[in-house]
A = this chain, B = another copy of it.
Amino acid sequence: MSLLVVGSVALDTVKTPFGEADEVLGGSATYFSTAASYFTDVSLVAVVGEDFPEKHVNFLKSRKVDVSGLQRAKGETFRWKGEYGYDLNEARTLDTRLNVFETFKPSIPESYRKADVVFLANIDPVLQREVLSQVDKPKLVACDTMNFWIGGKRDELIKTLALVDILLINESEARELASEPNLVKAARAIQAMGPGTLIVKRGEYGALMFGRDEVFSAPAYPLESVFDPTGAGDSFAGGFMGYLDNLHSFDGRALRQAIVFGSVMASFNVEDFSLNRMKSLDYKEIEDRYREFKRLTFFDDLGQGV
Contacts and interface: CB of A to CB of B under 8 A. Distances in A.
Interface of A: 86-88, 181-185, 202, 204-206, 208, 214-219, 222-226, 247, 249, 251, 253-254, 256-257, 259-260, 287, 290-291, 294-302, 305-306
Given A184-B223, A202-B205, A306 B254 contact: yes
A182 B257 contact: no
A184 B222 contact: yes
Q: Which 8 A-B pairs have the closest CB atoms?
A: A217-B219, A256-B299, A86-B181, A205-B205, A184-B224, A254-B306, A253-B306, A184-B222
Copies of this chain, whole number: 2
B302 A181 contact: no
B217 A296 contact: yes
Contact of A251 (B181, B216, B306): B306
A300 B298 CA distance: 11
B247 A222 contact: no
A182 B251 CA distance: 36
B306 A290 contact: no
Given A202-B205, A205-B202, A306-B247, A298 B222 contact: no
12 contacts: A86-B181, A182-B223, A182-B225, A184-B223, A216-B298, A217-B219, A253-B300, A253-B305, A256-B300, A257-B300, A260-B299, A287-B302
A87 B306 contact: no
Given A219-B217, A253-B305, A257-B306, A182 B224 contact: yes
Nearest to A217: B219
Given A205-B205, A223-B184, A301 B296 contact: no
Nearest to A298: B256
Given A205-B206, A294-B299, 7 more contacts: A215-B222, A215-B296, A216-B296, A249-B306, A257-B299, A259-B299, A294-B301
A240 to B, nearest CB: 13
Contacts of A300: 253, 256-257
Kindly name the residue among A87, A181, A205 whose own CB sees the greatest number of chain B CB atoms within 10 A: A205
B306 A181 contact: no
Nearest to A287: B302
A184 B267 CA distance: 14
Contacts of A294: 299, 301
Contact of A222 (B217, B223, B299): B217
A222 B296 CA distance: 19
B185 A224 contact: yes
Contacts of A204: 183
Nearest to A299: B256
B302 A290 contact: yes
Contacts of A260: 299
A305 B247 CA distance: 12
